[in-house]
Each structure stands twice: as C-alpha cells, then as structure tokens.
Structure 1
Amino acid sequence: MTRQKKIVAVSHCILNQNVVINDWERAEGAFPMASYLLNAGISFLQLPCPEFLELGMNRPPMTYQQYQSINGYRERCRTLLHPIIQQLIAYRENHYHYLGIIGINDSPNCSISGQRGILMEEFFDLCQKNDLNQAFMEIPLWYRDDQQRNMATLVETFIQGDPLYDN
C-alpha cells in the first residue's frame, strides 16, 4: 500500500461534534463528509477547540466579540496552534501535499469567510508567516446530517484545488 500523502486541517468539531455547545450539534459524531475524505485517502490534522478548552462542555453560546474580550484568549489560541503549524511544516518538508483547512461558517472561532473567527485569524496569520497553503472550505450554515445537499460536490471541488477557495 502506498500513502496518498495528502493532508487537510480541520476544525475540531468536524471530527468530534461532542465539543459543540448543547443543541447546536449538526451531526451525530463526526460530519459524514469526513468519511468521503478518508475514502479518498486524505488524512486529517485536527485543530484543538479553544472554546471547549477555555470554557468547558457546558459553556453558553458566545460571539466573536465575547471571546475576543476574554483576557489572553487570542494568545492561548495562537499557542494551541503552534504544534499544528510545526506539523504542517514537517509534512511539507517530507513532500506531503497540504490541501488546506476546513472550517465552520459563522463560528466565533472557526469561521473563515465573512467575520473570520479568532482561531482562524491566528491560524491564517501563522500559515502566511510560514508560507503554508491557505486554501479553505467551510461547513455551511445549512448543513446537517439529514440535509447534506451538495456537500459532496463542495468537498470534491476543495480537494481538487479549486482556486475559489484560496485565501
């Protein structure tokens, strides 16, 4: 068996909906599109969930501005991301293909388009400083396990490197 050597970074809740605040989960465990990526031979690099680490399982829904106002929160996000960036650099040095990141639209930390989330602001800044690919896609607001619409097409477009997703 030969490795595909393709990697995608993902927001934590894409593989673990258990960290999502109560009643906001949109999948039973992991988003089903994760299976599609695995079947395509793509590996995951899972980002930490700063919301869960900072405020725990039973945290209330909060906005970007509320997270931004937590003393030292942005710096803790950046610290959490350093090992991820180091791994992406190591993969690049060993000729792996980093496809980009999959975020969560309208998240105070993991949104990429529109009001970028705090974690993603720090992630993209570190990627830029380390000359890492900044291609991305997001799980749309409409997505649910029972309402996947054209998600397979969106994922396929992303893994094929469509420039519409470049930052």
Structure 2
Amino acid sequence: MERSKKLVLVAHCLLNSNSKVAGLVKKQEEIQKILSLLLEKKFGIIQLPCPELTLYGIKRWGHVKEQFDTPYYRRHCREIFQPYLDQIIDYRAVGYEIKALIGIDGSPSCGVNKTCSACWQGEVADLKPDELMSLKIINEAGIFIEVIKKILKAKEIEIPLIAVDEENPFLAREKIEQL
C-alpha cells in the first residue's frame, strides 16, 4: 500500500463515541460518514486522547468550559498532548502533512469554534433549575483546543482546524472534501 503522507488529528470521541458523557451521542451516522470520507481520501488518522476521560473516567457528569478552566486541567491537557506533539514533529520532519485537526463543537474541551458555558459549581443536586438553564453555547474554543493551539503556535506549527458541529455535520464534510 502506498502511503499518502497525509494525516489528520481527530478528537477522541469522533472515533469512540463510547467516551462521551452518557446521553450526548448525536447523529452517529453522520459522524461515520465523516470518518468514511477521511478513509476514502486516504488520510492517516491520529486519534487524540480525551482529556475529560483520562482525568475523570467514563462515569463523569457533563461539565462546562469554566469548570475546566483551571491550571490543573490545562496542565493535564499539555501533558497528554505532548506525545502527539512529538509525533507531529517527527512526521513533518520526514515529509508528512498534517492536513487538519478536527474537533467537536460544543465540547468544553474539544470545541473548535463553540463551547458550552455556565457558572456551575458545587453539588449537581443543589443546582437550581435557573442555574441549570443558564447553560449556553459561546463562540470560543474548548480548553484542550486552546492548549493545543498555544503549543502549536509556540512551535511555529500551523495546522488548520475543522469543527464538527453535531447539529450540522455537513459543514465539516464540505471542509474535509477540500483538503
């Protein structure tokens, strides 16, 4: 098999929806079409780790960006990304192209253009209905994507970002078609 020397980095949950917070899997058939398109275009796929899963495990509650915006979580993100940064540097040194990093909009970690936001803290059971209803989507990246962008910028590595919006995954497919 001839190597394409084209790679993409993808958010963990795009390849493994089991890693998501229970109840958050949407339009899996459309995600599968995106993954099929990547394979059809002969991209090597590097699955990034899920910082939420690697820190809190599978039985975690849903969080918002503000809950992850701590020095501890950012350090965790830097640490788990380091081996992938090493791969990026190594691949590029021998002529491979990293064509895109594909994240998942709405995620407090892997959102590219959008993330979930609210001022939540304390016991989940103690949150009042209006506090729960304060959840909103804001036009910002998630914490893991912010950390990755900062690391890549410091290393002078440019990798285009593509957002998969699970409510409208067709936009991501169009961008991948152009790679």
Q: Tell me the SS of whatever aligns to 1:106.
A: coil
1:90 is aligned to: 90
Q: Return closer, same or farther for 1:124/1:51 CA change in 2, 3 Å cut-off.
A: same
Separation in 1, partners of 2:39, 2:85: 22
TM-score normalised to structure 2 length? 0.79
CA contact (8 A) 2:11 2:50 kept: yes
Structure with greater Cα Rg = 2
Residue type of the partner of 2:111? S
Alignment map for 1:1-167 (pairs within 5 Å): 1-28=1-28, 31-32=31-32, 33-69=34-70, 72-113=72-113, 114-143=139-168, 149=170, 151-157=172-178, 159=179
Q: Tell me the SS of whatever aligns to 1:132.
A: coil
CA contact (8 A) 1:12 1:49 kept: yes
Separation in 2, partners of 1:136, 1:52: 22
Listed as ranges, the gaps of 5+ residues in structure 1 are: 160-167
Give the deviation of 1:72 after TM superposition.
Answer: 1.2
**Which range moves more in the overlay, 29-38 or 75-84?**
29-38
Separation in 2, partners of 1:102, 1:27: 17
CA contact (8 A) 1:6 1:43 kept: yes
CA contact (8 A) 1:111 1:120 kept: yes
Listed as ranges, the gaps of 5+ residues in structure 2 are: 114-138
CA contact (8 A) 1:14 1:30 kept: no
CA contact (8 A) 1:17 1:29 kept: no
- Give the alignment's Cα RMSD to 1 decimal: 1.9
CA contact (8 A) 1:16 1:30 kept: no
Give the deviation of 1:154 after TM superposition.
Answer: 3.1
Q: Report sequence identity in percent.
A: 28
Residue by residue over 1:95-122, the C-alpha shift from the partner in whole angstroms, topping out at 9 and shown as x without a partner, is: 0011020001121000122211111111
Separation in 2, partners of 1:60, 1:41: 36
Separation in 2, partners of 1:35, 1:51: 26
Q: Return closer, same or farther for 1:15/1:27 CA change in 2, 3 Å cut-off.
A: farther
CA contact (8 A) 2:27 2:166 kept: no
Residue by residue over 1:47-79, the C-alpha shift from the partner in whole angstroms, topping out at 9 and shown as x without a partner, is: 10010111111211110001124x611101100
Q: Tell me the SS of whatever aligns to 1:111.
A: coil
- State the number of aligned residues: 153
Q: Which contiguous aligned blocks of 4+ residues in structure 1 show a shift greater than 4 angstroms? A: 27-30, 148-151
